[in-house]
Amino acid sequence: MKSVAMLVVACAAVTTAMAQPAKQGPVQHPMAAQGTPPSVTVCIGCHGAKGEGMSAFPRLAGTGQAYLLAQLDAFANSDRKNPVMQPIAQSLKPAERQALALYFSQLPSPLVASDPAQPSPTDTGAWLATRGRWADQVPACAQCHGPGGSGVGGQFPPLAGLPAAYIAEQLQAWKAGSRPPGPLALMAGVAKKLSDAEISAVAAYYEKISASAQTSLPKAVPGVPGAAVTPGALNPAAPAQTKGSP
């Protein structure tokens, strides 16, 4: 149980730090300050005019600036592999990648989602997303990514409504060690403890919850991330966190 507690503390420490507002606002790159960056045309063909995502291409709108920039940089230096994104990122100057990350992070998310209050243990995707599997040191996805996969802070992106194939592909990449592990290597550690069936279930869960969110929840408030979730709220056996820790 000591190792489980350490994982909880690490997860909470990272998400709390990322969710805190910066003492100084994000640096406004000159390109972004003028409005839409010229290089945004490279992105909207696949990710949508408002960063809403299209088909198998993930949503960018409302995703943290630090996360987006880290992914663009990873594609540019080939730490993250993708035959479409690598040449695009490599064609962009560092200042252009910075401006794009800032631009898409400031676009409002198209939805707000929520998790079921009482997921069934037989619903593998919902259970892992909201409760995790603490016996194997697998925290709930919601503890880092917020309730309903709404995203937390600048480093933990929203998951709600992302294509299931995309989510599964990323989890498999972390599992295989072919994608940078991210903050404290949390994602690589979690993915390696999930079976292929569990990966598919979690991916399907986050893809489908957006449909109910659009019909039963209030409209998204631009710039307001999902509320933090404490481990105790998701798993009564988990160590309690300080107030405000996700």
Q: Residue 36: what residue type?
A: T
Angle formed by the axes of helices 164-176 and 196-216, to 10°?
140
Q: Cβ contacts of residue 36 below 8 Å, gap of 6+?
A: 103
Residue range 124-209 forms a domain whose CATH class is: mainly alpha
What are the tokens at 31? 């390109």
Alpha helices by DSSP H, listed for the chain, are: 2-19, 30-33, 41-47, 65-76, 85-91, 94-105, 124-130, 142-145, 164-176, 186-191, 196-216, 231-234
Query: Does the fold of domain 124-209 match that of domain 2-106?
Result: yes
Tens digit of pLDDT for each residue in 23-70?
Answer: 344 434 333 344 689 999 999 999 999 999 998 899 999 999 999 999
Cα–Cα distance measured from residue 187 to residue 178, given in angstroms and rounded to the nearest whole number: 12
Q: 211 pLDDT band (50/70/90 cuts)?
A: low
What residues does each domain of the chain span?
Answer: 2-106, 124-209
Query: Whole-model pTM above 0.75?
Result: no
**Three-class SS string for 114-147?**
CCCCCCCCCCHHHHHHHCCEHHHCECCCHHHHCH
Look at 171 and 184; give whichever has higher pLDDT: 171
Tens digit of pLDDT for each residue in 81-134?
Answer: 999 999 999 999 999 999 999 999 999 987 777 888 789 999 999 999 999 999
Please give the CATH topology (third level) of the domain spanning 2-106.
Cytochrome Bc1 Complex; Chain D, domain 2 (1.10.760)
